[in-house]
Chains A and B, each alone.
Chain A
Amino acid sequence: MVASSGKHRWGGAVKQITKSNFSAALQQIKVHIQDADFIAVSSQKTGDLAASSSHRYPWRRILPIDIAETAYLKAKLAAETFELLQFAVCPFRFQGSKVVAFPYNFHLFPRDELNLGMPSYSFSCQTSFLASMAREGFDFNVSIYDGISYLSRAQESIAKERTTPRVYSSSSSPSPSVADSIFIGRIKSRVENWRNACKDPCNMADGSLAKSLRKLILGGEVYGSRPSLSIDVCSDRQVQLALEMVTHISDDLVPLVVPDKSGGAKSVRVVLTSSEEDKNLLMSEIQNLEEEQNLKVRGFREVIDLISSSKKPIIAYNCLHDFTFIHSKFISPLQPSLNEFMCSLRLVFSNIVDVSHLLKEIGPLRKARNLPAALSYLKRQFFVPIDVEIPQLADGNSNNNHGHNVLKLTRVFAKLGILLKIVPDCQTSLGQHTVPIEEYANIFYPISNSLQESEADDVDFHMDNVRKISTDDLVFIWGFREGTSAAELKNHLRQTHSVFSEDIELQLVDKTCAVVVFQKSGSAEALLKEIGSGMTNSTAPSKIISEGLKAAGYEAYKKVCRLGMWEAELADSLDCALSEPSGDLTISSGEDASEIYWSSESMIDLNDL
């Protein structure tokens, strides 16, 4: 089917995957990922701090005043707070004048399959998010009852220590103590007795009573079809001793360590095999068991691992936001700084293309605020003949249309790819030069609007009055009466200090805190210095301080984000940061100043961002 556009034509195009059809889908997607040129991903979350729906804590959204670092820290907070409910993956390739795509939508739920308190103890939901998902016809019962669980790589290694019985490799150990030799002696005679009893052919003829009596006395159990014996141990040392002892007795014994909840060894299970082949058989059985367990443990993360190992370029929208989620749910806890995060992410996904970055390459699209807007602009302004073909169709009767964002993303990328000559256009001759995708990879643009928001910002294109300013020229002011408007505050400040009579811009970040932009460089620093000295030196009471107003430079804001002081109101967070013992934060340090893109729209208004 060639689907040109519109949701209705894509009805049932995206394959919906739950627990029941997961292992089958895994085999399919493996092939599709291998054949693909690119892999588009998008996800559905239970909430999003960056979204404009977060009315309650306006300052926690990614704002124009945020530098990449603070934007990352805000994205990190969101990734740690919310949960993924759906993850759509679409491997696709260019074929002549069309794109061949294989979209899948995985339903996820962080069920604690192994009873270890993982992958997540609890998660937050934003009611507005759930309500808008409900309006789109989202089936929550499917997700919660049948969603696929997962563990991150870091969680898997913890879980592995705790669950699977393992074949321990014995290593040399220090000389045994008296207690050790007593333990060895006791265990050795027990194991030998049991082994002999099992091997003794005349036992086989015994009646069931004798068998069960023997079982009672010798403490034998069965592991699969083979006889086995459990040895209780109470320390790692004893595990080591027991393992050594068992390998010394005979080759036909296989020791397995049975762990307890906390990861320590509970007992050593000795399994008796009948021959060398039988032993190999047992070992491969254990191997299979481990793999089966692995699939259960990793769950959906198998897909992420497939994408990662394929090394194919990954296409996403609003990457900073999506990949903080992916990293924290499927790789490991998020790093404290953007640089460390990017390094860690590069090791897993070498090639990520942010469509929001590509959009910026095409002049007017810079201001497109979401995918549908970008798509309709592309359709109007450019002629890019490209069709998306979806060869595999999901069940015809399935009328749910989840995960379609990934198809939109694929379409936008296909068009952009041709416009930017990343992918060969069918009309251009073969030898023509194409731009390597790497030129666009791994550049993330923080944007404060997210893809899946249905209460879509009604403004398609943004007013164009953005300019670069240095964070050194920013001062945060708080301590004023709640409900003061920006204009009132500006007037008021003009009366308190001459520096405010200069050309300044003032905007409210939230009800309690405003940010002032000084046009003249150095003014901000001078003001902060003066206030700083006024705070400790009571002989120079500035009018600002006497009115309870407080001020701090950008460093304080960075510190708030870095230390995770996510108070409901920015003023409280800044107060916390200032009360921290280390460093004088009222003065911004000139050395690591960054630049931000300042938009002169009024910040407090949610629709403007």
Chain B
Amino acid sequence: MRSRWLISAFSRTLTLACSHPVHCRRFSSSATAAAATTAVAVKKVTKSNFEPALEDLRLRVREADFVAIDLEMTGITSAPWRDAFEFDRSDVRYLKVKDSAEKFAVVQFGVCPFRWDGAKGSFIAHPHNFYVFPRKELPVDGPSYEFLCQTTSIDFLAKYQFDFNACIHEGISYLSRAQEAEALQTLSSAYKDEFNNSLYNLEEHVEIPLLRTADLIFTERMKNRFHQWCDELIKSPAKNYRLEENSDSNKMQFQTVFFKMRPAVLLDGFSSHQLKLIRLVLRKHFKDLVYVRSVDENAMWKKIVVYTDSEEDKASLREVQEDLLRNTEARVRSAVGFRHVIDLLTSEEKLIVGHNCFLDIAHIYCKFFGPLPSSMVEFALAVHKNFPRIIDTRHLVNSSHVIQYLMKRSSKSLSSIFSLLCPRISSPSLHVASNSYVKVEVQADETGSSCFNSGAKHEAGYDAFMTGCVFAQACSHLGMKFELHSPSIDFSKNDKIQNYMNLLYPSWNSGTVIDLSTGIENPDSSYKRRYPQIVFSNIVLVWGFPSNIKPKDLKECVCKVFGPDSITLIFFVDSTAALIQFSKEDLVNEFLILKDNLESNDDPISVLHPLAKLLEGGNTHAANYETYRDICGSSISKVLFVDQAEAVGIRWKTKVENGSGETQKFASSSEITPGDNSPAVKQVIGKKNDPKRQSHHQVSCEDILDSLHASKLLFEKQVRSTR
């Protein structure tokens, strides 16, 4: 009875998980929706007002006691089966967060510095709402060349009137620290090459390797045209001369412009091979023409040929080129864009406050620092180095008894916590008698009032503001007296707050808390688990079974073979894949070996075997939990788990891990050369061919064959005994 109840509960979680791509932290009850409509002046920052806003923010952050942040992304999970499950092992959970941060883009970034004003007895908040878009601003690899959008998330943003035009037309771009370094290196070396080519190799004998007639004709034509152009310049230097050619298709390729007071030709519409030829022609035949490259407004290389009237002029052109290099460096600095805000937050070492912010932090790391580390511990420590103090208000609110009492177990969404804890701010019209509420004042500077919007829920700037208010109020409930701390508050010195410092939920349903300062993950005492203890070594991953198999059928099927108590849990990852937890670790291998055995034999026993129902269709795969992790670690994301496993390149059907850690993979006989009657054991060779390992494998293959026969007998016995 008990287990039946369990299964029905799981199937319910399955449908839940499928129907709501997790916005869990953002879901709010409709009752509180109205409360969040209070006008709060949130500063809207786009490309056009970024520079002054950044300078202003520097000051605000420097003065601040803490800074609240919030992010809006284009999606959360790249496939339904990548949702965070309570069932996930820590490394799998991190892989899912990593996948999300790597695939989706940040479109809005809310930053809200809070400063305690002792004289007013109130916090002063400055909510900022930055529109961010990964634009290409340099002719080298930019922030993100491609990003994913989850349809429901985009629709969700649209529901809350997210301004996609503002984001895409005017969003602020960025470069991560790693990208900035790379861009500087690439660009400066490109310039260095040009100096050398255009100035110093003149005396050197230049040979143009002309292999093709087309090249020959082209170089001749270019030579003539440049000669003609130079002649015309000398004849009438004052006149703005245009090169004319008969064919108008060529006209657009040759255009006279001015470069630093010198006449020049803008080379437009040539292929890079042609440009190479042009440079060779210039070096060989024209001592007074210099090839210069600079970055134009559209982040493309602008190529020009400049006329110099003397050697001195040419030398001075070198200075010009150095100037160009400096300009380019400035361009890179400006392309760093929004990352200046992140650099500001890290350099000021202020306390960062976020609500359920683990994914936010992963995005910040991935977008602004560099590629995400491969393990959770490395990630935690690397984050800690940059942000020494982070507080997750969701964890704070959940684990403090005082606040839980006040919350009366109501919804956990940010906006409902906000309206419960901070009724004075969320709805000032209500007269709340108590004096225990922390006062927060929003300051909008008078200049450029047009860029202030009244905040709304699910707008990053306003969400950051709410998070900060919740934090301040929670501190007050924990017994912090802000008045005593004036002029500045050191939260890390407070014993009560210290208990929550750097503790984050890795996901909303992980049931654990990670300490960023140590990288250690511990169970969260306040979390109520819905599932019994999970033992990952007892888990089998099954996928590709017939679509009519529901959790109930799967359990029935397996229990018929291994006994009614053999299964402790069945969890459907999606409609095509399930995790089965056995009561004993041995059963994992027994199941896998039996499955392979049934598939390789075509006798009546195999067909009538209770497990045969699961294997119908011939596409049922099985492996242990490690395979699940490997599949989650892949950068591919197919909607269905079955397709994902195939795309990842799994060609075997069953993977059995024996005691010595040796892995065997079995393919069905149909995939092996036909006519092979022996049980089909196919060894899948890794990326590198190593003959030594191969022979080693062959020995263990035979071992496996023996154990196959042994286990077959065993299973038949077992089947008989269960009947």
A123 in contact with B269 (CB, 8 Å): no
Q: A112-B155, A581-B684 are in contact. Are A134 and B271 (CB under 8 A)?
A: no
A601 in contact with B164 (CB, 8 Å): no
B687 in contact with A581 (CB, 8 Å): no
Of the residues A112, A461, A602, A606, contact of B151 by C-beta under 8 Å = A112
Contact with A along B1-33 (1 / 0, CB 8 A): 000000000000001001101000000000000
Q: Please tell me if B566 contacts chain A, counting CB pairs below 8 Å.
A: no
> Which one of A140-148, A308-316, A404-412 is at the interface?
A140-148
Whole-angstrom CA separation of A532 from B297 in the bound complex: 51
Q: Please tell me if B150 contacts chain A, counting CB pairs below 8 Å.
A: yes
Whole-angstrom CA separation of A581 from B686 in the bound complex: 10
Q: Residues of A within 8 Å of B, CB-based: how many?
A: 60
Q: Please tell me if B330 contacts chain A, counting CB pairs below 8 Å.
A: no
Q: Please tell me if A549 contacts chain B, counting CB pairs below 8 Å.
A: no
Q: Please tell me if B148 contacts chain A, counting CB pairs below 8 Å.
A: yes
Query: How far is the CB of A586 from the nearest CB of chain B, in Å?
Result: 11
Whole-angstrom CA separation of A144 from B136 in the bound complex: 23
Whole-angstrom CA separation of A145 from B134 in the bound complex: 22
Q: A110-B151, A111-B155 are in contact. Are A579 and B164 (CB under 8 A)?
A: no
Q: Please tell me if B651 contacts chain A, counting CB pairs below 8 Å.
A: yes
Of the residues A460, A465, A581, contact of B212 by C-beta under 8 Å = A465
Whole-angstrom CA separation of A55 from B272 in the bound complex: 15
Of all chain A residues, which has the CB nearest B671? A582
Query: How far is the CB of B337 from the nearest CB of chain A, in Å?
Result: 13
Q: Please tell me if A124 contacts chain B, counting CB pairs below 8 Å.
A: yes
Contact with A along B387-417 (1 / 0, CB 8 A): 0000000000000000000000000000000
Whole-angstrom CA separation of A133 from B168 in the bound complex: 9
Question: A-side binding surface: helix, strand, loop or mixed?
Answer: loop
Q: Please tell me if B467 contacts chain A, counting CB pairs below 8 Å.
A: no
B80 in contact with A117 (CB, 8 Å): yes
Of all chain B residues, which has the CB nearest A137? B169
Interface residues of A in 551-609 (CB under 8 A from B): 563-565, 575-576, 579-582, 600-602, 605-608
With a cutoff of 8 Å between Cβ atoms, the chain B residues found around residue A464 in the complex are 214
Q: Please tell me if B689 contacts chain A, counting CB pairs below 8 Å.
A: yes
Query: How far is the CB of A383 from the nearest CB of chain B, in Å?
Result: 17
Whole-angstrom CA separation of A317 from B698 in the bound complex: 55
For chain B, give the interface size range.
35 or more
Whole-angstrom CA separation of A432 from B131 in the bound complex: 62
A575 in contact with B687 (CB, 8 Å): yes
With a cutoff of 8 Å between Cβ atoms, the chain B residues found around residue A47 in the complex are 146
Q: Please tell me if A56 contacts chain B, counting CB pairs below 8 Å.
A: yes
A121 in contact with B165 (CB, 8 Å): no
With a cutoff of 8 Å between Cβ atoms, the chain B residues found around residue A127 in the complex are 133-136, 142-147
Whole-angstrom CA separation of A465 from B248 in the bound complex: 22
Query: How far is the CB of B706 from the nearest CB of chain A, in Å?
Result: 23
With a cutoff of 8 Å between Cβ atoms, the chain B residues found around residue A535 in the complex are 689
Q: A122-B75, A130-B168, A134-B169 are in contact. Are A601 and B271 (CB under 8 A)?
A: yes
Of the residues B149, B249, B272, contact of A605 by C-beta under 8 Å = B272
Q: Please tell me if A249 contacts chain B, counting CB pairs below 8 Å.
A: no
Whole-angstrom CA separation of A145 from B19 in the bound complex: 21
Of the residues B15, B144, B271, contact of A262 by C-beta under 8 Å = B15
Most chain A CB neighbours (cut-off 10 Å) among B80, B154, B300: B154
Query: How far is the CB of B228 from the nearest CB of chain A, in Å?
Result: 22
With a cutoff of 8 Å between Cβ atoms, the chain A residues found around residue B239 in the complex are none
Q: Please tell me if A481 contacts chain B, counting CB pairs below 8 Å.
A: no
Q: Please tell me if A458 contacts chain B, counting CB pairs below 8 Å.
A: yes
Of the residues A123, A465, A565, contact of B148 by C-beta under 8 Å = A123
Interface residues of B in 683-710 (CB under 8 A from A): 684-689, 691
Query: How far is the CB of B202 from the nearest CB of chain A, in Å?
Result: 22
Q: Please tell me if B273 contacts chain A, counting CB pairs below 8 Å.
A: yes
Q: A123-B151, A581-B651, A581-B685 are in contact. Are A128 and B145 (CB under 8 A)?
A: yes
Of all chain B residues, which has the CB nearest A132? B298
Q: A581-B682, A601-B273 are in contact. Are A124 and B146 (CB under 8 A)?
A: yes
Q: Please tell me if B270 contacts chain A, counting CB pairs below 8 Å.
A: yes
A607 in contact with B271 (CB, 8 Å): yes
Of the residues A123, A465, A576, contact of B149 by C-beta under 8 Å = A123
With a cutoff of 8 Å between Cβ atoms, the chain A residues found around residue B150 in the complex are 121-122
Of the residues B19, B146, B637, B667, contact of A115 by C-beta under 8 Å = B19
Whole-angstrom CA separation of A34 from B106 in the bound complex: 46
Of all chain B residues, which has the CB nearest A49? B146
Q: Please tell me if A426 contacts chain B, counting CB pairs below 8 Å.
A: no
Q: Please tell me if B657 contacts chain A, counting CB pairs below 8 Å.
A: no
Of all chain A residues, which has the CB nearest B139? A55
Contact with B along A98-130 (1 / 0, CB 8 A): 000000000001111001010011111111101
Q: A56-B141, A112-B155, A125-B146 are in contact. Are A608 and B271 (CB under 8 A)?
A: yes
Interface residues of A in 305-341 (CB under 8 A from B): none
With a cutoff of 8 Å between Cβ atoms, the chain B residues found around residue A576 in the complex are 649, 687
With a cutoff of 8 Å between Cβ atoms, the chain A residues found around residue B651 in the complex are 580-581
Q: Please tell me if B716 contacts chain A, counting CB pairs below 8 Å.
A: no
With a cutoff of 8 Å between Cβ atoms, the chain B residues found around residue A465 in the complex are 212, 214
Whole-angstrom CA separation of A463 from B270 in the bound complex: 11
A125 in contact with B149 (CB, 8 Å): yes
Q: Please tell me if A131 contacts chain B, counting CB pairs below 8 Å.
A: yes
Q: Please tell me if A543 contacts chain B, counting CB pairs below 8 Å.
A: no
Q: Please tell me if A520 contacts chain B, counting CB pairs below 8 Å.
A: no
Q: Please tell me if B63 contacts chain A, counting CB pairs below 8 Å.
A: no
Whole-angstrom CA separation of A12 from B671 in the bound complex: 59
Q: Please tell me if A1 contacts chain B, counting CB pairs below 8 Å.
A: no
Of all chain B residues, which has the CB nearest A460? B249
B647 in contact with A134 (CB, 8 Å): no
Query: How far is the CB of B602 from the nearest CB of chain A, in Å?
Result: 22
Q: Please tell me if B639 contacts chain A, counting CB pairs below 8 Å.
A: yes
Q: Please tell me if B268 contacts chain A, counting CB pairs below 8 Å.
A: yes
With a cutoff of 8 Å between Cβ atoms, the chain B residues found around residue A563 in the complex are 649
Whole-angstrom CA separation of A121 from B150 in the bound complex: 6
Of all chain B residues, which has the CB nearest A564? B647
A128 in contact with B272 (CB, 8 Å): no
Whole-angstrom CA separation of A305 from B156 in the bound complex: 30
B164 in contact with A140 (CB, 8 Å): yes
B151 in contact with A139 (CB, 8 Å): no
Q: Please tell me if A9 contacts chain B, counting CB pairs below 8 Å.
A: no
Q: Please tell me if A261 contacts chain B, counting CB pairs below 8 Å.
A: yes
A139 in contact with B165 (CB, 8 Å): yes
B144 in contact with A55 (CB, 8 Å): no
Q: Please tell me if B281 contacts chain A, counting CB pairs below 8 Å.
A: no
Q: A112-B151, A124-B149, A127-B147 are in contact. Are A141 and B272 (CB under 8 A)?
A: no
Q: A55-B145, A458-B269 are in contact. Are A565 and B168 (CB under 8 A)?
A: no
Of all chain A residues, which has the CB nearest B218? A463
Of the residues B136, B158, B163, contact of A128 by C-beta under 8 Å = B136
Q: Please tell me if B78 contacts chain A, counting CB pairs below 8 Å.
A: yes
Of all chain B residues, which has the CB nearest A461? B249
Q: Please tell me if B79 contacts chain A, counting CB pairs below 8 Å.
A: yes
Q: Please tell me if A459 contacts chain B, counting CB pairs below 8 Å.
A: yes
Q: Please tell me if B386 contacts chain A, counting CB pairs below 8 Å.
A: no
Q: Please tell me if B152 contacts chain A, counting CB pairs below 8 Å.
A: yes
B271 in contact with A122 (CB, 8 Å): no
A134 in contact with B168 (CB, 8 Å): yes
B154 in contact with A144 (CB, 8 Å): yes
Query: How far is the CB of A479 from the nearest CB of chain B, in Å?
Result: 12
Q: A122-B637, A134-B168 are in contact. Are A55 and B147 (CB under 8 A)?
A: no
Query: How far is the CB of A142 from the nearest CB of chain B, in Å?
Result: 9
Query: How far is the CB of B265 from the nearest CB of chain A, in Å?
Result: 15
In the A-B complex, the 9 residue pairs with the smallest Cβ-Cβ separation, listed nearest first, are A458-B269, A140-B164, A605-B272, A122-B150, A56-B145, A134-B169, A121-B639, A134-B168, A608-B271
- Give 24 CB contacts A-B under 8 Å: A46-B149, A54-B145, A55-B141, A56-B145, A121-B80, A122-B149, A122-B150, A124-B146, A125-B148, A127-B135, A131-B135, A141-B158, A144-B154, A145-B158, A261-B15, A261-B18, A458-B270, A460-B269, A463-B214, A464-B214, A465-B214, A538-B691, A576-B649, A608-B273
Beyond A124-B147, A131-B135, A581-B667, list 4 extra A-B contacts (CB 8 Å): A115-B19, A122-B78, A458-B253, A460-B249
